[in-house]
Structure 1
Amino acid sequence: MGHRAVLGPALWVERISEWCAAPDSWVATHAELGVCGALVLGEASSYVPAATEPELYVRSLIGSRDPRAKGAGRRLLALADERAAASGVTLLRVDCYAGGTGDLIAFYESCGYTRAETFAVEKQPQDWPGQVLARRLD
């Protein structure tokens, strides 16, 4: 789940340190695995089209591929729903990589998100295609 950018170790340390310092970051743990998922909520990234109403943005969702961690991502997204409802926000959005097999998009759709805008982040040697997905709470 989440972005699979190719980053060097120093950039990963910087990125993860930033995520952990965010005021609305959460970690899922498993008795045998330890940390098996993480969720960071906040504002949308600058490359994502702006929302037209208040929202809660899923900045990052990462889950272990270990079969014992199955469901951690869904539970973290349910926590995002709870955080949005508690703050009176009815719109949640997330973005993900739109290339490859489309598995990330399918995962978010299976969690109740629907496709919204597409975008591209300029990268070398080619652009990184992205998909914004949205979920509205009742």
Structure 2
Amino acid sequence: MSDDLSLRPGGPADASEVLRLLDSATAWLVARGRTGQWGTEPASTDPRRITQAQAWATGGGLWLAELAGRPVGALVVGAATGYVPPATEPELYVNLLVTDRAYGGRGIGDRLLAHAADLARQRGVGLLRVDCYAGGDGALVRWYERQGFVRTEPFTVERPGREPWPGQVLARRVA
């Protein structure tokens, strides 16, 4: 992990940075033929994703990881999304975790998830959950497992006119 990586809360002006990070990650996935997760089009051209990024930036749960003042990762925490089974106890939910793939291998995602666990502890919550794309070769699910998460419920998001989106909820206990 880079020692110069810093975390800061995000705000309304950071919606464009979230979209830039999503665009970068989508381009990286597309270049590797991994289009099932986020498709092929940039988030910054999708009205639904633009609205979502604005909501994240104004919702109070956005955190940005920065190297030399440049955002290289984003974390959004809050309530679980409506398409996943509800938790049976209080939780903190990771709504978004995205990193700039140009800085891969620096532990940015690890650091953001550690921060999410710290936020859960500060709130007196013992459960951290996340959902992710479970299609393809399952690499993303395995990455979360390496971060200490355990698979809980699989789910599917139906998308009219498109293939269903396979997802996996994962949970991690926070001491």
Q: TM-score, normalised by structure 2?
A: 0.72
> What is the aligned partner in structure 1 of residue 38 from structure 2?
4
Q: How does 1:65-76 map onto structure 2 within 5 Å?
A: 65-67=101-103, 70-76=106-112
Q: What is residue 86 of structure 2 aligned with on the other side?
A: 50
Stretches of structure 1 lacking an aligned partner (at least 5 in a row): none
Amino acid at match of 1:134: A
Once the two structures are superposed, residues 17-69 of structure 1 have per-residue CA deviations (whole angstroms, 9 ceiling, x without a partner) of 1111121210011128x111000000111100000000000011111111366
Counting strand residues as a fraction of each chain, which structure ranks higher? Answer: 1
- The 5-angstrom pairing of residues 44-123 of structure 1 reads 44-67=80-103, 70-123=106-159
- Percent identical: 45
Runs of 4+ residues deviating >4 angstroms: 5-8
**Following the alignment from structure 1 to structure 2, what is the Cα–Cα distance between the partners of residues 18 and 75?**
23
1:127 paired with 2:170, answer no
Structure label with greater radius of gyration: 2
Q: Give the 3 Å change call, closer, same or farther, for CA 8–23 of structure 1 in structure 2.
A: closer
Task: Give the aligned CA root-mean-square deviation in angstroms.
Answer: 2.0
Could you tell me which amino acid in structure 2 is paired with residue 135 of structure 1?
R
Q: How many residues align?
A: 137
CA distance in 2, matches of 1:29, 1:89: 26
Find the aligned partners of 1:94 and 1:72 in 2 and give their Cα distance: 17
Structure 2: 5+ residue runs without aligned partners? 1-24, 27-36
- TM-score when scaled to structure 1? 0.90
Between 98-107 and 76-85, the greater mean CA deviation after superposition: 98-107
